[in-house]
Amino acid sequence: MSIRIHPSILSCDFSRLSEELDAISAADMAHVDVMDNHFVPNLTFGPPVVERIREVSPIPIDAHLMIEQADRHAPVYADMGCASVSFHAEASAAPVRLAREIRALGAKASLAIRPATPIEPYIDLLAEFDQILIMTVEPGFGGQSFLDVCLPKVTRTRQAIDDAGLEVQLQVDGGVSATTVARAVAAGANVLVAGSAVYSAEDRTAAIEELRELAHDAQR
């Protein structure tokens, strides 16, 4: 499947948000982490800020919702025009109904799972989603180390997607860098989120292209 690079703006300079979005124009989407201080012990922003990001930047938004009561709040992000909406399986009472609602609003529906959440309960539901997001850190903060222990789950998920003949994207998020991206792709991921690896680089375009190149090499 095609390699996609989604920088996470969690590591950007929020006082210069507009320029920081312009700096990742080489990427496929901007990964926007919404945190509510309940699902994770950190707080970022909500619908008004995400909507403004969408208005000022042409880059499609990949919203990653780390919030409780996803069934109630996630459709708002699809309705405002986010290209993709990831909600957490652990925060949704009815993930199939929610995915259908997100799709009906014109966005891609993505199911996210924390490191300790197994993929197995969702294997028969894969066709309901456009993407599975496997966290490779405990959600909540940027700049953490990549959890290699999550890689067997990435491999099992890719196998299940391929066995079912589906076009479901497989995203990994957390600790993705030039040193870890090849392992994530070799395990089966094709959508790579990278926050600190992109935004700590002087040249963001070069950092994005390096990740893309390393990912392509790992896929061959």
Instruction: Output the known binding site.
Output: 8, 31, 33, 64, 140-143, 173-175, 195-196
Minimum distance from CB of 37 to Fe ion (Å)? 15
Contacts of Fe ion in 152-181 (CB under 5 A): 173
Query: Which among 63-71, 94-102, 117-125, 198-206 is the span making contact with Fe ion, rule CB under 5 A?
Result: 63-71
Which residue carries 């190149």 as its tokens? 213
Among ligand 5SP, Fe ion, none, the one that 142 touches (CB under a kind-dependent 5 to 8 A) is ligand 5SP
**Residue 28 annotated to the active site:** no
Contact 91, 69 (CB under 8 A): yes
113 touching ligand 5SP, by CB under 6 A: no
171 touching ligand 5SP, by CB under 6 A: no
User: Which residues lie closer than 8 Å to 52 by C-beta, 6 or more apart?
Assistant: none
**Residue 173 annotated to the active site:** yes
Q: How far apart are CA 132 and CA 18, in angstroms?
A: 28
Q: How far apart are CA 210 and CA 218, in angstroms?
A: 12
Query: Which among 12-20, 83-91, 138-146, 160-168 is the span making contact with ligand 5SP, rule CB under 6 A?
Result: 138-146
Catalytic residue among 33, 36, 162, 203: 33
Which residue carries 């003949």 as its tokens? 165
Please say whether the dihedral angle defined by the alpha carbons of residues 125, 166, 88 and 58, taken in this order, is positive or negative.
negative
Residues marked active site are found at 33, 173
